[in-house]
Each structure stands twice: as C-alpha cells, then as structure tokens.
Structure 1
Amino acid sequence: MGLSKVKHYLDMVDFGHTLFGLPFAYLGAFLARDGIPSAYQLIWITVAMISARTAALSLNRLIDLPFDKANPRTSEWVLPSGRLAPTKVWVGVFILLVILFYSAAQLNQLCLKLAPLAVIVLWGYSYTKRFTWWCHLILGLAIGIGTVGSWIAITGTFDWQPFVLGMAVACWIAGFDTMYACQDIEFDRKQGLYSIPARFGEKGALIFSAVFHAFTVVFLVASGLILNMGIWYFTGVAIATAVLVYEHIIVRPGDLSRVNFASFKINRYVGLIIFIMSLVDIL
C-alpha cells in the first residue's frame, strides 16, 4: 500500500478520533491497579484498543458503503468516492483482528477468551441502524467495553465495578452520536434507517442527547463513590460536566452549524479531563 493509500486509510478511520476511547481505556487500567500499570501492560492495552477501534470503524464504513454513496453528506468520503478499494479495507480488518487477538493473549487468558465477544459486539453494531433507533447506545456500549477490558487486562478477573464506568462511557458516546446524527434526519427517513433523530426529530433527538449526557455524569459520580475516589476525580467530573453543558448550549434545534465542533472538537476533552484528574487523584 503506497503512502497515499495509507493516508486515505487513516482518513477513512478518523485515526485522530481514537483519542475518544483511549483515555477511558487507560482509566480502567489505572483504577484496577490503583496506581500505574506496567509499561508492558499499557503497550498491549494501547495496541488492543487501537486495533479494535480501527477494525470496528473500517467494518462500519464497509457495511454502510451503499448508504454512504447515496448520502450527499458522505458521498465524498474516502470509500464511497473510490479512493480506496473495499477489498483492501477488508484485508485490513482481518489483519487488525489478528492483532487484537494477539494483544489480548499478551495480557491474560481471560482477555483472550473474551476477545471474540468484543468482536461480535463491534461487528454487530454496524447493522443496528437497520432495525433499532437504540443504535446510538449500542455504539456507546461497544466503545464502553474497552474500559471494562482494560480493567480485566490488569486484574485477570471479571468484576462488576468497571461496568459502572463503562456505562458512563456508553452514555457519553450515545449522547454525541445522537447529536451528530441530526444531520441525516431526512436521509435516514427516506432510506428506512433507524435513528433517534429520524424517529423523534431534531428537537427530540437533542433532548435524548442531553439525557444521555446527564446519565454520563450520574455514572461518573457513582463510579467515583464506588471506587472511593477523592476530590481531584470529582473536580474532573465537574469540569467534564461543564464541557457537556457547553455542547448543548451551542447546538440547538434549528441550528446545527456547530454540531461537528461540539461532537468532535471539544467532546474529545471529556475523557482526557477525567483521566488526567483521576491520575492526579490516584497518585
């Protein structure tokens, strides 16, 4: 694959947006250790997260290709525009899944045993828009399991505590994905696709988005109480809450001009803020 194709591939999978999931994945590991995990563990957690996230987004682009070609908003994206061949993307998916399984094996046996379940969730999400408007929350759950997986990578045990933090991640992702999907209301309705905006309209979707983000804060607070976190963690939650509130101030019914800014520019700082403040608390 030439350098231009590599660039197209990185553009297709929005590689920079991997920042969305990594801070919460690292947080799961740090909280499980109640300190700093080993460099070995952090390296393989990072490789597992990047390979899983990249494979999942590649699958989503491949499975949604007919719709992306028909949608004026997405028709010039890398895959619909023909700048990258679907066969090459499929090859990339299977290479990434091999890397994911290898990474899981380097962490512990429970991670390896649970890796197929993670792949089923990541693969299956791309079909949910065909039958349920809860697809946004399912996307959130698919990303939220990364936090649980990082906890398991450290402890080697299946505990309930990380699921609370995982639900915070799920609601956070569902909130901004619902907001972002408001751009495709008419297209989704014409194509018979399911989404919260297509079902409830722009105003209803933004209400759902706000509710999802409210639950994000609830689960973050609950996770902090369960894990006996201190003032720095809860300060981080307060700052992250302010960021989420700001998103809903600048994106209103009838004015989606700043939806990309809200969803992909400032939203990425939520996980980073929580991680940094939690790290200060832990240390």
Structure 2
Amino acid sequence: MNSPLGAGLPDAGRPTLLRHAPYTWQPYIQLARLDRPIGWWLLLLPCWWASLLASVVRHSPPNLWHLALFLIGAVAMRGVGTTYNDFIDRDIDAKVERTRNRPLASSRVSPQAAIGFLAALILVGLAVLVCFNRFTLLLAPASLVIVAIYPLMKRITFWPQAVLGLAFAFGALVGWAAEMGSLAWPPVLLYLGGICWTIGYDTIYALQDIEDDLVAGVKSTALRFGAHVREGVGAFYVLAFGFIGAALFAAGAAHGFGLLGWLCLGAHFIWQIARLEPADGNLALRLFRSNRDAGLIFAAGLAAQAILQITSSAG
C-alpha cells in the first residue's frame, strides 16, 4: 500500500522509491530525504572534490574505498540534518504549502520516533567515520555543531544559506583530511568555494518559498536579495568559481582535465544565471537540482586527471 501523502510533496522528484517501499517505511524515507537524492549529492560532492584533488597532488589513483565511504556517510548525514531540521521546524513546516505534508509536520511520525531514527542515522555516520584516520575522526564531528544551529538561523538572519554552506561544504575539509591526515590551503580554499556555491544554489532553491516564508516569518537570501536575486546568486557563483580555482592553483593541479573540469563548472554556473527566472518556482527547482551535474563535472575532471597521471607515469 502506498501513502497518498508520501507521493505528494511538491518538491519531491519522481516518487519511485516511495511507490515501492512498504507503507510504514515511507515517512522515514521522507524524513531522510531518500526520495530526493539531490541533497546527499550536494553534501557528497565537496568530499569527492577534496579526495580527488588530493589524489592529483599525490599522483595516486582515486581512493575508491574512501569515495564509497563518503557516499554512505553523505546519505546518512543528510538524513541526520533533515530529520533534525524537520523536528525543529515542524510547526513552521505545517504553515508552508510545500512542506506541510512532511512526516513530522503532518504527524505521520511522532517526535519520539524521529529522535530514535535520528540516533540510528548518527550511528551509521559514526561507523563510516571510524574507517578514516584519527585526524579525520577528530575533525568531522565539528560539522554537527553547524548542523545543530542551522534550523535556528532562518528565524534570526536573512543569511541561513551561509550557515548551510558551512555544513554542506565541510566535506572539502574531511575529504582532504582522509587522504592527507592534515589540512592545508587547497582544502580551505575548496571549502570557501563550496560555501559560496551552496549560498548560490540554495538561494535559487529558496525562490520557491518566498510567499510562504513571508507568512511564516522565515528569512532567506532570496528575500534579502529581492529584485536583485540574479545578481546575488551570480556574485556567489563568481566567488565559488574563484575559490575553487585558487584551490587548484594552490595544489599545483590547475592543468589537464582538472583545469578543464573547473572551466566547465564555471560554464555551468553561467548557464544557470542566464536561465534563472526568479518568479518561476518550477524552473528554480530544476536549476537547483542541476548543481549535482555541475559538481559531478568538476569531480570527473579531477578523477580523469588523477588517472591520466598514473597511466602517464606507468608509460
């Protein structure tokens, strides 16, 4: 049996997973946003960028084991963030058309059950984390502090997207630390680029909710930029492109496929800005989701460069 509410969230993609999942699982799939993989993709990509950049620097092949661990960790930690966010925002979500059918807002999951589910997801994330070196084990939990304060920011500042960026881009530090056992300028610059990227794409996402946010008293950069939202998103995409490029140059990796991937990432940013129509919520959602492809383009460039270096050395 399928839940009519489970398939009805306006911002969900094709509800294939929900259609085939047992009825009792559906609210938890929605809590963890497993029906909307774009969230964990955007959390995962900075991890992959940093890990692959480290491979380019070390002239080593991509660490497939670590890349797989980051995938599992991103899915779990995305679930941690969304479950916690929905728990904190359950009263606000009930007032917003796009979110009123979320499991906690619609009372399909109790607060107590959500807390138990949250604990289970944290354990999965911890199981992944202990597979890495000690430095990474000490570094990664700092992101949970950012995750904890993020839902509160939309109540007090027009810049919650900046706090979200601090959390979503944190993988740039973790991915490098997992390979190198330390930090350096390249991952820091990559982190700054990821923060700016997140502010840009989440501002686009927030365009869907402007009217409801005004009613609910929720703040966002989409509201802050107002009629200048295209310029605002464009400015942060320029900063993201600049910081990510600086990371490549600082790592001595601004060549070959890595450089090509970076230029293609910039071209994707330009395409998004050219297409953006602030009044078109459906288009905003499509552009937001397209950032998975933008991030994968850059990751593919770094992976190709790492592999090319190995094959060239072997030849």
> 1:107-137: CA deviations, max 9, x gaps?
1222222233121111211211111112112
1:136-151 superposed matches below 5 A: 136-151=161-176
Which secondary structure state, in structure 2, belongs to the residue aligned with residue 20 of structure 1?
helix
TM-score for the superposition, normalised by structure 2:
0.81
Determine the structure 2 residue equivalent to 1:19. 41
* 1:252 aligned residue (255, 277, 280): 277
> 1:194-249: CA deviations, max 9, x gaps?
21223342x22332111111111111211121122213122212222222222222
Determine the structure 1 residue equivalent to 2:54. 32
1:70-149 superposed matches below 5 A: 70-149=95-174
Query: 1:38: Cα distance to partner?
Result: 4.4
Query: 1:151: Cα distance to partner?
Result: 1.0
Distance 1:124 1:147 in 2: 20
Which secondary structure state, in structure 1, belongs to the residue aligned with residue 106 of structure 2?
coil
Query: 1:181: Cα distance to partner?
Result: 1.0
Determine the structure 2 residue equivalent to 1:4. 23
User: CA separation of 1:62/1:36 partners in 2, compared to 1, >3 Å: closer, same or farther?
Assistant: farther
Structure with the larger helix share:
1
Which secondary structure state, in structure 1, belongs to the residue aligned with residue 169 of structure 2?
helix
Q: Compute the RMSD of aligned alpha carbons.
A: 2.1
Q: One-letter code of the match for 2:148? A: W
Q: One-letter code of the match for 2:31? A: M
1:168-187 superposed matches below 5 A: 168-187=193-212
Q: Are the counterparts in 2 of residues 5 and 84 from structure 1 also a CA contact under 8 Å?
A: no
Determine the structure 2 residue equivalent to 1:280. 304
Determine the structure 2 residue equivalent to 1:215. 239
> 1:164-210: CA deviations, max 9, x gaps?
11122211111011111122223323333221223342x22332111
Determine the structure 1 residue equivalent to 2:90. 65
Distance 2:297 2:163 in 1: 24
User: CA separation of 1:4/1:147 partners in 2, compared to 1, >3 Å: closer, same or farther?
Assistant: farther
Q: One-letter code of the match for 2:150? A: Y
Larger Rg: 2
Distance 2:111 2:186 in 1: 40
Q: Are the counterparts in 2 of residues 125 and 135 from structure 1 also a CA contact under 8 Å?
A: yes
Which secondary structure state, in structure 2, belongs to the residue aligned with residue 60 of structure 1?
helix
Which secondary structure state, in structure 2, belongs to the residue aligned with residue 126 of structure 1?
helix
Determine the structure 2 residue equivalent to 1:225. 249
Q: One-letter code of the match for 1:57? A: T
TM-score for the superposition, normalised by structure 1:
0.90
Stretches of structure 1 that go unaligned for 5 or more consecutive residues are none
